[in-house]
Structures are given as structure tokens and as C-alpha cells.
Amino acid sequence: MSPSPHFQILGPKHNFLGIDSSGGWEESEVVVVPVPLEKTTTYLKGTAKGPFALLSASHQVELFDEELERETYRQGIVTLSPLRFPKSQEKALSLIESTIELLLRNKKWPFLIGGEHTLTVGAIRAFSRIYKNLSVLHFDAHADLRNSYEDSLYNHACVMARVKEMCSFVSVGIRSLSSEEASLIQKEHLPVYTMQKMQKEKDWQAKSLSQLTDTVYITLDLDVFDPSILPTVGTPEPGGMGWFELLEYLQKVFHEKHVVGMDVVELCPLPGMEYGVFTAAKWVYRMIGYHYLGK
């Protein structure tokens, strides 16, 4: 199948990893989707620059993955041109939704690069339409369960409240939440794993996996990481998960579940902290490797 006229594919100068993907649409299952959405950020500005910075930094990522012992890119990765958004947040989400649905109907595995976390709402609208038993695995420093924030239902602080209206979810790595969110979690017994809970409950990985359906979409806010590992985020929080801790858990997720797509959000490039952007780029490559492992 040739690329749809709706899709423009980036060449090596601007795409993920700087690889030659000419003629690779048919062979490439993984499609990287740059989503420079930034309409409701509430602290550090610059998440709209995140996708461009990550794509640029990815050119410095070693193509041989030392953990997986393979050159993952050879199994096929193409990068779409960044989405261009209207002023309306709702119309922006509709554009994300239609783009992702078209990719899914073309049998692709979308990997969205943000951009503020609100983009996940548009993605899940599409995924939940295609996959009827979908659950979302949510990595974040924040619960993002406010019903509305700053007079908007589509603020980045409300992402999981909107996801909750469409499918089940499990949240991991949480270390900041409002009293409203804490009450909701307690009242509805929501599967939200705070860092404190994860430290106390040694079986949290197995328990959280059991609360997911077989079909899983992963949304990862980069502030789930300890800021000493990845400081370049829109709303940083102290503490957080370590690189290998998170990899260990996600190895199990990809092994035990059918992961149908993923996003990485809230990358906020900061002067003098290029290592944070590089870390995010390497993380994306590793996750693509996990997807292709065993295929």
C-alpha cells in the first residue's frame, strides 16, 4: 500500500533517527507521529518544540540497541510530517483522532511524540473505536484526573478524566495530585500507583498488570522519570522512576500484553539540558524495539 495522500513522510534530514525510509511505507509498521500541541500548558512553556527537538536528537542515537542486540530500525520506521493545528483545542484533538484512526486502518503502529499531554485524548478516541477492549497504561508524575482545570475540560491536567470516560486505565509513578483527585481515587477505587505505594507494595508490577486488559495503549509523560534522569519536562516533580526500573516493568508489559500504540508527551527542551532530549529520543527507540521484539 502506498502512503495515503493524507500523509507526508519526512526524509532523513528531519525524520526519526535520520534514516532513509524512502519506499518504506509498505514495510514499516511503526509510524512516528510528531504532535507539537501546546495550548494549555500551566508551568514551563515549550512543549510544542518537543517533537522537533526529539527528532533532531534522535540522529545521535546509536542504531544498534545494546539491550536488544539488534538494529531495530531495519524492521521499519517512518516519520510523518508534524501535524499542524487550528486554534481550537477541540479541533486539534479531532485532527489527532482522524490521523490516528487512518493509521490504524492502514494497519500501522502509531507512536505519537508530544507536545502536551492533551494529545492523548485525541489518540484514545481513535484507538477505543478500533479496539473495543482497550485499556490505557498511564505513566506520569501527576494524576491528571481533574474534571476541568482553568475553565477547560481539555486542559493537560484533565487527560485521564477524559480517558476514563472512554476506557479503563492504570496509572503508575504518581507523586502529585489534588484533593479532588485523591477523593475520586479513593471513592472509585481507581488503580493509581503512587511512588509511595510502589515503594511499599513489592508486588505492584504484577498487580497493576492484572488490572489491564489484554489490549493496551501506553501514554508516558516524561515527568514520570526522576528529574536527574530527564529534567526537560513541562511540569517537573522531585522523585520519580529510574531508567532501568521503568524498562524492567515495560519489558513485562510488552511481553504479557498486546500493546497497540504509544505516546511520549510533555518534552520541554531547555537550554543547556540537551541530555534530557537525547534521553527521550533513546527511550522512544527502545520502546519501538520492544514492540518489534519477537516479530
Comparing C-alpha atoms, which of 295, 293, 280, 16 is closest to residue 139? 280
- Give residues with Cβ within 8 angstroms of 4, minimum separation 6: 102, 106
Average pLDDT of the residues of the chain: 93
Comparing C-alpha atoms, which of 201, 203, 205, 126 is closest to residue 166? 126
pLDDT for 81: 96
Q: DSSP state, 59? A: G
Q: What is the pLDDT of residues 172-220, one digit of tens each?
A: 999 999 999 999 999 999 999 999 999 999 999 999 999 999 999 999 9
Predicted confidence band of residue 3 (pLDDT cuts 50, 70, 90): low
Predicted confidence band of residue 146 (pLDDT cuts 50, 70, 90): very high
Q: What is the pTM of this model?
A: 0.95
Q: Which domains does the chain have, with CATH numbers?
A: 16-292 (3.40.800.10)
Phi, psi (deg, nearest 5) at residue 152:
-135, 135
Compute the average pLDDT of residues 90-100: 95
Could you tell me how many residues make up the chain? 295
Q: Which residues of 83-96 are buried (b: 16+ CB within 10 A; e: fewer)?
A: bebeeebeebbebb
Q: What is the pLDDT of residues 230-264, one digit of tens each?
A: 999 989 999 999 999 999 999 999 999 999 999 99
DSSP H or E run through 90: helix 89-105
Whether the Cβ atoms of residue 100 and residue 28 lie closer than 8 Å to each other: no
Q: DSSP state, 160? A: H
pLDDT for 157: 83
pLDDT for 1: 41
Predicted confidence band of residue 42 (pLDDT cuts 50, 70, 90): low
Compute the average pLDDT of residues 66-82: 96
CA distance 246 to 212: 17
